[in-house]
Structure 1
Amino acid sequence: MRETVLITGATSGIGAEFARQFAARGCDLVLVARAPGPLEETAETLRTQWGVAVQTIAADLLDDDGLARVLARLSGAGRPAAEGAAEPAAGHEGARHIDTGRPPVTVLVNNAGYGLVKPFADNTLDDEVRHLRIHVEVPLALTHAALQSMRIRGHGTIITIASVAGFTPRGTYGAAKAAMISFSRWANLTYGPGGIRITAVCPGFVHTEFHQRMGADKASVPGILWLDAGLVVREALRDTAAGKAVSVPSLRYKVLVALARVAPSSVVAKLARRGR
């Protein structure tokens, strides 16, 4: 059976690279992003280039209805549609939570997220809570939904994009990523014997739109620390296939993570402030 891969934040950066590499492997895709225009453009490019089926779900995962529609696709697909239920238009999920009998999602990539450039006390509490929700609550909800059908089938893959920031003292972003690293370690041990691979991918600085959107100073980061998204995804997929609970792409960041575990916290925190 062909793999069906659901990717959040799928129209740019690491998410778009996951979509390209999975499509190149012949996997069908379910792409999730907020903006319908770029979402459809990305989907059409992948359909044309690789001949794979691509479903799109235009949804803001911080909106209850948007999150519910993605959860419905993860937990409800694969069963016949309810009697009298109408199909959504042309590959899009509509506002109703409709089970369309589509193939079940066998791979989930939790990639959606963003950063806050200011320190914790300088942000509004609402900004911090929404930031925590997109990086912790949303991937936990999607993972929980995916596990229900994956456990029944006896196989599946869940990849969550964390960060090397999760190994450093770096505000609420680092704290959120640390939570997902810890959860992925536990979940891989717990569900791995049942055929489900769960991996937290921890890249460092990657050439994507992420830092531009958050208004970070990219010039403050030495060139040697920047990674290509293609390399990050290739190494992530290799480590996931090997059953690793944590993937740190590139030798340079493996060394830095090892040093962060033994260096004084004050030194690590100073280095971690780069790029903000």
Structure 2
Amino acid sequence: MGTALVTGATSGLGLEFAWQLAQARHNLILVARTSERLREVAEEMRQFAGVQVEVLRADLSQRDELELVAERLRDPNKPVGLLVNNAGFGLGQPFVGGDLAPEEQALDVMVRAVMVASHAAAGAMVRRGRGAILNVSSIAAHTAVGTYAAHKAWVLRFTEVLAVELAGSGVTATALCPGLVHTGFHAAAGIDETQWKESLWLDAERVVSDGLAAVRRGQVICTPSLGYRCGNAVLRLAPRWLVRRMAEDPERSRRQPE
């Protein structure tokens, strides 16, 4: 039984990661922005799973609060065996003409925080000769749909770079690249979920289970579901001009001035 640190742990995939890890008898460090919700989730897991649960309130877009997470990951007296970089959010706005503040916040949470936390965890894990890092990317990493795709593309490539550097150290790095998942993620961003067929949606339990299984195997990239793996292959092989064309909004095109 080891200790896992999960960011964005009070909702969506992060909450599912926490529950599955608790059920597998891992002690937990839960990281999120809201103290009250953190305490509620932690107490539920202590009561129902019987594991030790620490809470760490931190807004990962704030460098000083992010450093608290990094310090916990570096602590040699309380080692963390698994880091799950899950925190993230959808923007629900175009970049051009959109508000820049949430764009900067998204970059901080989904790129900088992943880098800082991974740096802290990898250093400590390599010194111990064991450990694992799981970064939540997305099938969107292969598309050109919004800056979210750019953030997740960085996470995917970064994880591959990390896996190469960690080879032979006893520490692994895995990128989880799910497609559409029923978590409330899209609704929180004001994105209409009904625009996609129900058959495209994945269950959070299945996605997390596949991700943790990939970590146990030392697999570098995990894309849950055969359908998304096929779609992923198509996107990788398609010419980039076609991928960009697929991302275009026909309504926006019609609104362009003559």
TM score, norm. by length of structure 2: 0.92
Counterpart CA distance in 2 for 1:266 and 1:149 is 42
Counterpart CA distance in 2 for 1:112 and 1:34 is 10
The Cα offsets for residues 45-66 of structure 1, whole Å up to 9 and x where unpaired, read as 1111111000001111112332
Structure 1 residue runs of 5 or longer lacking an equivalent are: 79-102
Counterpart in 2 of 1:169? 144
Q: Which one-letter code corresponds to 1:181 in the other structure?
A: L
State the 1:263 CA deviation: 2.8
Q: Using a 3 Å threshold, how does the CA distance of structure 1 residues 205 and 151 change in structure 2: closer, same or farther?
A: same
Counterpart in 1 of 2:31? 32
Mapped pair 1:157 → 2:132: yes
State the 1:147 CA deviation: 1.2
Q: Secondary structure at the match of 2:84?
A: strand
User: How many residue pairs align between the two structures?
Assistant: 249
Mapped pair 1:41 → 2:13: no
Mapped pair 1:213 → 2:201: no
Q: Secondary structure at the match of 1:122?
A: coil
State the 1:269 CA deviation: 4.2
The Cα offsets for residues 172-194 of structure 1, whole Å up to 9 and x where unpaired, read as 11111111111111211220310
> Over aligned residues, Cα RMSD in angstroms?
1.5
Mapped pair 1:125 → 2:100: yes
Mapped pair 1:226 → 2:201: yes
Q: Using a 3 Å threshold, how does the CA distance of structure 1 residues 64 and 183 change in structure 2: closer, same or farther?
A: closer
Q: Which one-letter code corresponds to 2:219 in the other structure?
A: K
More deviation, 57-66/19-28: 57-66
Counterpart CA distance in 2 for 1:262 and 1:21 is 34
The Cα offsets for residues 10-55 of structure 1, whole Å up to 9 and x where unpaired, read as 0111000100111111100000011111111111111111110000
State the 1:107 CA deviation: 0.5
State the 1:223 CA deviation: 0.7
What is the aligned-residue identity percentage? 41
State the 1:231 CA deviation: 0.3
8 A Cα contact 2:129 2:171, kept in partner: yes
Counterpart CA distance in 1 for 2:97 and 2:241 is 21
Counterpart CA distance in 2 for 1:256 and 1:266 is 17
TM score, norm. by length of structure 1: 0.86
The Cα offsets for residues 137-179 of structure 1, whole Å up to 9 and x where unpaired, read as 1110000011121011000100010000001112311111111
State the 1:195 CA deviation: 0.6
State the 1:268 CA deviation: 3.5
8 A Cα contact 2:76 2:124, kept in partner: no
Q: Using a 3 Å threshold, how does the CA distance of structure 1 residues 10 and 214 change in structure 2: closer, same or farther?
A: same
Equivalent of 2:169 in 194, 201, 214? 194
Q: Secondary structure at the match of 2:72?
A: helix
Counterpart in 2 of 1:20? 19
Counterpart CA distance in 2 for 1:42 and 1:273 is 40
Q: Which one-letter code corresponds to 1:137 in the other structure?
A: R
Q: Which one-letter code corresponds to 2:43 in the other structure?
A: E
Counterpart CA distance in 1 for 2:212 and 2:119 is 21
Q: Secondary structure at the match of 2:168?
A: helix
Q: Secondary structure at the match of 2:5?
A: strand
